C-alpha cells in the first residue's frame, strides 16, 4: 500500500501515475478536476436561484487506464476501501463508499449510449476532506473527463457537469443541485461562475487582482451534513408547496419575492418562513454581489458575503459555533472584506475574502491561537488560487 498524501499537501501527478503502475502493472494517464468554493448563493442551487462559485487550484486527480476485460477496479491513495465491478456493472451505491461517485459517472455515460468500457482507477485529492469544497463533484468531473478521453468521446463541459450531477442524484442518491458539477466543469482561471440554477444559463465574472481567497478549515467534521441537508431540501419543498397555494406560478422557492414570503408568514409558520426568507433574501444578495464584484466594489461585495453568513446561521440554521466564531474574528482583521461558511455547513470551512496578504503574520497567529483556546482544535488556513479547467496532466 502506497503512503497517502498528508491532507492539505499538493498531489504530484507523476507520483500518482507511478503508484498506479505498481498497483495495476501498466501505464496510466492522469486527469484533474478542480474543487469549488461558493462565494455567495448559499443553498440556492436546489432552490432554483443564482450562485457565484469558482473552481479552485486544488481538487481530485485520477490515474486511469482501460482494464481490457470489461471490469472496473477502483482504489484510492487517501481514502479507505478498494472496489471491483464485473462488466455488468452490478453493485449498490451503499456498498461502494467513495467509489459510488466514479461508478455513477460510468453508469450514467453508458445509460446515455456512450461506449465506455471497463477501467482501472487510482484517485488522490488535495482538498481539505469534508471541508465543503465539493470533492465529490470534483471526482465526478475528473472521472467523466478521463473516461471521455480514454474512450475517444467528445463531451462538452456542460454535458460533463450534467453527467456528474445525474450520477450523484440518481445513483449515489444525494439530492444536490447543479452548482458543484458546473463550477468544476466550467472552471476558468481568474474567474467566478455566475450560474442561474433554474435556467442553467451561466457566464464567467473576472475576480480581479485585488481579491485574495482564503479557506479557514475549522477541523470540525460535518457530522450532521447528510441528514440536515436532506431536511433542508424537504423544508424548502414544503415551503414552496405552501407558497404556491398563494401564487401558483414559480416552480422554485427562489422565484418568490420577500414581500410574498412575508405576506404568507401565517401560512408558512415560523420555521418554513425563516427557511424561505433566507432563500429569497439570498437571491437578492447574490445578484447585488455580482454587480458589486463587476464594479470593483469589494467593500460592498464583502459586506454581502458576511450578510449571507448571518442569514445562513439565523434563518437557515446551517452554521455552528466554530464557523460563527471564525467569521466574526476574521472579519475584524483590517483588509478582510467578508467571510461566510462554505458548502452545506454544520462544520467544515469558512471562505474569507481579503486584500492580498491582509491576514498574515501576527493577525494569522492570533486567529489560530484564539480558535485553539476556544475550541481545542487546530485552525488550518489555505490560500486558494482560482482553478483551471478539468484537463489531462502531462507526466514528463
The C-alpha atoms of residue 236 and residue 46 are separated, in whole angstroms, by 9
pLDDT at 391 over 90: yes
Buried b (16+ CB within 10 A) or exposed e, 8-26: beebebebbbbbbeebbee
72-76 vs 119-125, strand pairing mode: parallel
Residue 66 DSSP SS3: strand
User: Sign of the CA dihedral 274, 279, 280, 285?
Assistant: positive
Q: Is the dihedral of CA 299, 303, 304, 305 positive or negative?
A: positive
* DSSP line for 304-355: HHHHHHHHHHHTS----HHHHHHHHHHTTSTTEEEEEE-TT-SSSEEEEEES
In the chain the domains, ranked by start, together with CATH numbers, are 13-208+387-393 (3.30.230.10), 213-384 (3.30.70.890)
- 238-242 contacts: CB < 8 A, separation 24 or more? 238/272, 239/268, 239/272, 239/273, 239/275, 239/276, 242/267, 242/268, 242/272
Task: Tell me what the mean pLDDT of segment 89-118 comes to.
Answer: 90
Contact 72, 89 (CB under 8 A): yes
For 233, phi then psi, to 5°, come to -60, -45
* Least-confidence region, from 54-63, 79-88, 122-131, 296-305: 122-131
- C-beta atoms surrounding 146 within 10 Å: 27
Per-residue pLDDT at 11 exceeds 80: yes
Given 126, 180, 217, 307, the catalytic residue:
180
Whether 230 has a pLDDT exceeding 80, the answer reads: yes
β strands within the chain, DSSP E: 29-38, 50-51, 53-66, 72-76, 83-85, 119-125, 191-196, 202-206, 212-217, 336-341, 349-354, 380-384, 391-393
Judged by average pLDDT, the poorest of 4-8, 174-178, 352-356 is: 4-8
Give the confidence band of 3 by pLDDT, cuts at 50, 70, 90.
Answer: low
From the DSSP assignment, how many helices (H) and strands (E) are in the chain? 11, 13
Q: Give me the mean pLDDT over the 78-102 stretch.
A: 86
Q: Is 393 helix (H, G, I), strand (E, B) or coil?
A: strand
Q: pLDDT at residue 226 above 70?
A: no
Strand pairing partners for 102? none
Q: What is the mean pLDDT of residues 3-19?
A: 79
Predicted local distance difference test score (pLDDT) of residue 172: 86
Q: Would the pLDDT of 5 be above 60?
A: no
Which pLDDT score, from 0 to 100, does residue 367 have?
97
pLDDT computed for residue 377 by the predictor = 95
* Contact (Cβ atoms closer than 8 angstroms) between residue 105 and residue 151: no
- If you average pLDDT over residues 286-312, what whole number do you get? 97
pLDDT, tens digit (0-9, with 9 covering 90-100), for 175-196: 778 999 999 999 999 999 999 9
High-pLDDT (> 90) share of the chain, %? 78
Does residue 110 sit in helix, strand or coil? helix
Least reliable range by pLDDT among 87-96, 271-280, 346-355: 87-96
Report the pLDDT value the prediction gives residue 1, as an integer from 0 to 100.
Answer: 40
Average pLDDT value over all residues in the chain: 92
Residue 224 has pLDDT above 80, yes or no: no
pLDDT for 133: 72
In this prediction, what percent of the chain has a pLDDT beyond 70? 95
pLDDT digits (tens, 9 = 90+) for 253-266: 999 999 999 999 99
pLDDT at 202 over 50: yes
Can you tell me the mean pLDDT for 73-100? 87
Supply the pTM of this predicted model: 0.91
146 HSE (CA, 13 A, CB side): 31
The rounded distance, in Å, linking the Cα atoms of 133 and 117 is 30
**Model confidence pLDDT, tens digit, residues 12-61:** 999 999 999 999 999 999 999 999 999 999 999 999 999 999 999 899 99
Cβ–Cβ < 8 Å for 377, 219: yes
pLDDT for residue 131: 59
180 as an active site residue: the answer is: yes
pLDDT reported for residue 362: 94
Confidence of residue 87 (pLDDT cuts 50, 70, 90): confident
Amino acid at each position: 500500500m502506497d503512503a497517502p498524501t498528508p491532507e492539505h499537501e499538493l498531489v504530484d501527478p507523476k507520483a500518482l501515475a507511478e503508484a498506479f503502475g505498481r498497483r495495476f502493472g501498466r501505464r496510466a494517464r492522469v486527469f484533474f478536476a478542480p474543487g469549488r468554493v461558493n462565494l455567495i448563493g448559499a443553498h440556492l442551487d436546489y432552490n432554483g436561484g443564482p450562485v457565484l462559485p469558482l473552481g479552485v487550484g486544488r481538487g481530485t486527480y485520477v490515474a486511469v487506464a482501460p482494464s481490457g476485460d470489461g471490469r472496473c477496479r477502483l482504489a484510492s491513495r487517501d481514502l479507505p476501501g478498494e472496489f471491483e465491478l464485473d462488466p455488468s456493472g452490478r453493485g449498490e451505491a451503499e456498498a461502494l463508499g467513495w467509489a459510488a461517485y466514479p461508478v455513477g459517472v460510468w453508469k450514467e455515460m453508458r445509460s446515455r449510449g456512450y461506449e465506455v468500457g471497463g477501467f482501472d482507477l487510482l484517485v488522490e485529492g488535495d482538498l481539505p476532506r469534508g471541508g465543503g469544497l465539493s470533492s465529490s463533484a470534483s471526482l465526478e468531473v475528473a472521472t467523466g473527463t478521463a473516461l471521455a478521453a480514454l474512450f475517444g468521446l467528445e463531451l462538452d463541459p456542460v454535458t460533463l457537469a450534467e453527467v456528474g450531477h445525474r450520477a450523484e442524484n440518481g445513483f449515489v442518491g444525494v439530492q444536490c443541485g447543479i452548482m458543484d458539477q458546473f463550477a468544476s466543469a466550467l472552471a476558468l482561471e481568474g474567474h467566478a461562475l455566475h450560474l442561474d440554477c433554474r435556467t442553467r444559463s451561466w457566464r464567467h465574472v473576472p475576480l480581479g487582482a485585488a481579491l485574495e481567497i482564503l479557506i479557514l478549515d475549522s477541523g470540525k467534521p460535518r457530522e450532521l451534513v447528510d441528514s440536515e441537508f436532506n431536511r433542508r431540501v424537504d423544508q424548502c419543498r414544503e415551503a414552496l408547496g405552501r407558497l404556491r397555494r398563494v401564487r401558483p406560478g414559480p416552480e422554485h422557492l427562489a422565484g418568490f419575492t420577500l414581500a410574498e414570503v412575508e405576506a404568507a408568514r401565517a401560512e408558512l409558520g415560523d420555521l418554513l418562513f425563516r427557511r424561505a426568507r433566507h432563500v429569497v433574501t439570498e437571491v437578492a444578495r447574490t445578484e447585488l454581489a455580482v454587480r458589486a464584484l463587476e464594479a470593483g466594489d469589494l467593500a460592498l461585495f464583502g459586506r454581502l458575503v458576511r450578510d449571507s453568513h448571518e442569514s445562513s446561521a439565523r434563518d437557515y440554521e446551517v452554521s455552528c459555533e466554530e464557523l460563527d466564531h471564525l467569521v466574526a474574528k476574521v472579519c475584524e482583521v483590517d483588509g478582510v472584506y467578508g467571510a461566510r461558511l462554505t458548502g452545506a455547513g454544520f462544520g467544515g470551512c469558512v471562505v474569507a475574502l481579503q486584500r492580498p496578504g491582509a491576514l498574515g503574520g501576527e493577525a494569522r497567529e492570533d486567529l489560530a491561537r484564539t480558535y485553539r483556546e476556544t475550541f481545542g482544535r487546530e485552525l488550518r488556513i489555505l490560500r486558494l488560487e482560482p482553478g483551471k479547467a478539468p484537463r489531462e496532466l502531462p507526466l514528463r
